[in-house]
Amino acid sequence: MTDVSSIGSGPDDDRPVLTDRQGHPVYDNQNQRTVGPRGPATLENYHYLEKISHFDRERIPERVVHARGAVAYGHFEAYGTWGDEPIARYTRAKLFSERGKRTDVAVRFSTVIGGRDSSECARDPRGFAVKFYTEDGNWDLVGNNLAVFFIRDAVKFPDVIHALKPDPVTFRQTPNRIFDFMSQTPEAMHMLVNLFSPRGIPADYRHMQGFGVNTYKWVNASGETHLVKYHWMPSAGVRSLTEADAAVIQAEELGHATRDLYEAIERGDHPRWELLVQIMSDDEHPELDFDPLDDTKAWPEELFPPKPVGRMTLDRNVGNFFAENEQIAFGTGVLVDGLDFSDDKMLVGRTFSYSDTQRYRVGPNYLQLPVNQPKNALVRTNQRDSQMTYYVDQAGENPHVNYEPSTIGGLREGQYPTHDDQGPVIEGRLTRKRIPRTDDYRQAGQRFRLMEDWERDDLVRNLVAQLAQCDRPIQERMVWHFLLVEDELGLRVGDGLGIGPGDVAHLEPLPSQDLGDEDRKRLANLG
Ligand code: HEM
């Protein structure tokens, strides 16, 4: 190996010498090679060409959603029991079962709609994605700071995101496009009541909750399944910004939340969250007025009390923003033994989308990158090659065998699980139908009634400010929905727009909705 340490350095300069990617020392990083000092450049100048062509490729596509974010590392510590009851009774996932068991984590907080350099003061959900590096491989819990979502079927995701993103002609985010879509999407009302309340602009990443939003399953050692929802509660409490607060911060800085997280960790003020789960038996629950697989609904806490399962502490910042924040890849398909999917139609759709986009955005070998590797579990596959192969997985003793089954070496299948059959038996015809029990307004109304006066004032003010920029038919339909959510909300938003209940009484229910008896009664009273 050539010792480049002394080449080109002055005798007193003991800093390492710059090289190119081939390990060749760079003698001159200020001037290209040219024919004479003023002459044309030469094309064989490897150092320049390598440097500039790498620079030309520095950017990878940003995430199609959640482009702006910040990563930090830490650990999760399990409680192991609920009082005298072992959590292992519900899940055989090792990370939850033993009191005090620690699992390394990487967390990425994010905004959703803006690009990579956009404002962290936007009224926008915040992402809360956690990668657990467990001994059984990685588990990703990819959540948001709000407990519910805009839609309940993944087929509508590109539409809701297109409506929320900038106009494809003017590249402006426009209330008219957003509320045009929302006015035709009654299931979005619960999310909108949350998003336009003060909770819609979290003060920073350390003071916000996290929710898995979708319904997952836990599986115990006997193969019994339960439905679960995950919630993160910040030890520092929840803080939010009003539009006015946000405008002041935003005028100074676009990335205050990323800075806040980084600085808190650097000064040793390590943020903590407790993880809680709500749990219910794995069936359709006909007694409930909502479907447990509907992510536009919250599970009432009085019926399904959240139970604490552990605590997460973040105590380390990234060493490189690009390698660890831009290239980290989370997905809802990344589960470990004892944790499973439900048939929640959003969750199933999400599960395809994440790894699909990551193969495009980062590359087919994205799981070989250090931040994405299951660093506490062994990886042994017969997957080979493609762009940026960084290493070859160990395929056992015989490197010639990269297939299975084989009589001459290679990898074998694992032990067949004793409880492969799990969960309820499901039957049905292939169909395209919305779920029964859509009940789009009740929980939105309950949320509104739970708000303090100032929160309601803020919600109404925010909605009126946005809707005032929309076409009259969109305003009317939104007032119509809000009257079905709760009289006070509909009346006050309508008041702000000069629209009374009589002005919207002529509107028929949308073809895409099933109104319940209570909704019909409210509708009949509109005139
Ligand atoms: C990021 C799809 C719903 C939370 C993403 C990305 C895609 C996506 C393509 C970019 C991933 C990447 O480039 O690495 C979808 C689809 C959804 C959906 C198709 C609905 C069908 C949701 C919901 C939540 C959520 C309901 C919250 C529970 C997140 C988070 C990220 C993300 C936190 C950022 C992950 C990171 O920090 O890298 N989503 N998403 N998404 N999504 Fe979703």
| Residues 86-140: tens digit of each pLDDT | 999 999 999 999 999 999 999 999 999 999 999 999 999 999 999 999 999 999 9
User: Tokens 């939003």, residue?
Assistant: 213
Residue with CA closest to ligand 1 atom 30: 127
- Write down the pLDDT at residue 59: 92
- Burial grade of 186 (CB within 10 A; 0-12, 13-18, 19 or more): buried
Q: Give the 3-state secondary structure of 11-74.
A: CCCCCCCCECCCCCECCCCCCCCECCCCCCECCCCHHHHHHHHHHHCCCCCCCCCCCCEEEEEE
Instruction: Say how many Å lie between the CA of residue 145 and the centre of ligand 1.
Output: 13
Residue among 380, 317, 336 nearest 216 (CA): 336
pLDDT in tens, 264-276: 999 999 999 999 9
Q: Tell how far CA 371 is from the center of its chain.
A: 17
pLDDT at 248: 98
Residue from 295, 353, 355, 366 to probe ligand 1 pocket by mutation (most atoms less than 8 Å from CB): 353
Report how far residue 211's alpha carbon sits from residue 85's, in angstroms, rounded to the nearest whole number: 24
Cis geometry, peptide bond prior to residue 405 (ω within 30 degrees of 0): yes
Q: Is the CB of 210 under 6 A from ligand 1?
A: no
For residue 364, what pLDDT is reported? Answer: 94
Residue with CA at minimum distance from ligand 1 atom 40? 350
Confidence of residue 397 (pLDDT cuts 50, 70, 90): confident
User: Are 416 and 268 a contacting pair, CB within 8 Å?
Assistant: no
The phi and psi torsions of 132 (rounded to 5 degrees) equal -100, 120
- Higher-confidence residue of 47 and 160: namely 160
The percent of residues above 70 in pLDDT, for the chain, comes to 97
What is the predicted pLDDT for the residue at 514? 86
Could you give the ipTM of this predicted complex? 0.96
- CA of 86 from ligand 1 middle (Å) equals 32
pLDDT computed for residue 418 by the predictor = 67
Q: Is 177 in the pocket of ligand 1 (CB under 6 A)?
A: no
pLDDT band at 4 (very low <50, low <70, confident <90, very high): very low
Residue nearest to atom 3 of ligand 1 (CA): 350
Of all protein residues, the one whose alpha carbon is nearest to atom 19 of ligand 1 is: 350
Atom of ligand 1 nearest to the CA of 329: 14
Are the C-beta atoms of residues 231 and 148 closer than 8 Å to each other?
Answer: no
pLDDT tens by residue, 221-279 = 999 999 999 999 999 999 999 999 999 999 999 999 999 999 999 999 999 999 999 99
Ligand 1 centre distance from Cα of residue 69 (Å): 12
**Higher pLDDT pick, 268 / 13:** 268
Out of 27-41, 135-149, 165-179, least confident range: 27-41
State whether the beta carbon of 106 lies less than 6 angstroms from ligand 1: no
Q: State mean pLDDT over 52-75.
A: 96
pLDDT at 1 over 70: no
Is the minimum distance from the CB of 362 to ligand 1 under 6 angstroms? Answer: no
Beta bridge partners of 232: 210, 275
Provide the pLDDT confidence category of residue 523 given band limits of 50, 70 and 90.
confident
Within its chain, how far is the Cα of 506 from the centroid?
A: 40
Mean predicted confidence (pLDDT) in 314-326:
98
pLDDT (tens digit per residue) in 433-467: 999 999 999 999 999 999 999 999 999 999 999 99
Is 157 touching ligand 1 by the criterion CB < 6 Å?
yes
Q: What is the spatial distance between Cα 49 and Cα 20, in angstroms, rounded to a whole number?
A: 10
**Measured distance CA(493)–CA(499) in Å, rounded:** 8
Task: Tell me if residue 66 is catalytic.
Answer: yes
> With 50 as the cut, is the pLDDT of residue 376 above it?
yes
What is the residue with the minimal CA distance to atom 33 of ligand 1?
127
Please give the pLDDT value at position 415: 79
pLDDT for residue 12: 79
- Res 351: pLDDT: 96
Catalytic residue among 66, 207, 231, 481: 66
Length of the chain: 527
- Using CA positions, which residue lies closest to atom 18 of ligand 1? 350
Q: Is residue 478 a contact partner of residue 497, using CB atoms and an 8 Å limit? A: no
* Structural contact between residues 223 and 264, judged by C-beta atoms closer than 8 angstroms: no
125 within ligand 1 shell (Cβ under 6 A): no
366 is in an annotated binding site: no
pLDDT-derived band at 426 (thresholds 50, 70, 90) equals confident
What is the phi/psi pair of residue 180, to 5°?
A: -60, -50
Residue 357, ligand 1, Cβ within 6 A: yes
Mean pLDDT of 191-195: 98
Give me the amino acid identity at 163.
A
Find out whether the beta carbon of 213 lies less than 6 Å from any atom of ligand 1: yes
Respond yes or no: is residue 376 known to be catalytic: no
Q: What is the pLDDT of residue 391?
A: 82
List b or e across 335-360, with b for residues whose CB sees 16 or more CB atoms inside 10 angstroms: bbebbbbbebbbbbbbbebbbebbee
> Which one from 144, 325, 402, 462 is the annotated catalytic residue?
144
* pLDDT value of position 154: 97
Minimal CA–CA distance to 440: which of 481, 479, 477?
A: 481
C-alpha to C-alpha distance for 406 and 411, rounded to whole angstroms: 8
pLDDT at 148: 98
Cβ-contact 478, 183 below 8 angstroms: yes
Helices 442-450, 472-485: crossing angle, 10 deg rounding = 80
Mean pLDDT of the chain: 94
Handedness of CA 174, 69, 212, 458 (dihedral sign): negative
Q: How far is the CA of 373 from the centre of ligand 1 (A)?
A: 20
Confidence of residue 14 (pLDDT cuts 50, 70, 90): confident
Q: Which atom of ligand 1 is nearest to the CA of 361?
A: 13
d(CA 471, CA 159): 19
d(CA 8, ligand 1 centre) in Å: 49
Return phi, psi of residue 129, to 5°: -110, 130
pLDDT of residue 11: 62
The vertex-484 CA angle with 483 and 490, nearest 5°, equals 15
pTM attached to this predicted model:
0.95
64 lines ligand 1 (CB under 6 A): yes
The residue whose C-alpha atom lies closest to atom 28 belonging to ligand 1 is 143
pLDDT class of 413 with cuts at 50, 70, 90: confident
Residue 319 Cα to ligand 1 middle (Å): 24
Q: What is the pLDDT of residue 177?
A: 98
150 alpha carbon to ligand 1 midpoint, in Å? Answer: 13
- Angle at CA 133, nearest 5°, toward 276 and 353? 80
Atom number, ligand 1, closest to the C-alpha of residue 129: 33
Would you tell me how many other CB atoms lie within 10 Å of the CB of residue 210?
28
Interval 378-405 mean pLDDT: 86
Amino acid identity, position 409: G
Q: 65 alpha carbon to ligand 1 midpoint, in Å?
A: 7
96-105: buried (b, 16+ CB within 10 Å) or exposed (e) per residue?
bbeeebebeb
Token pair, residue 301, equals: 């806490």
For 349, half-sphere exposure in the C-beta direction (CA atoms, 13 angstrom radius) is: 13
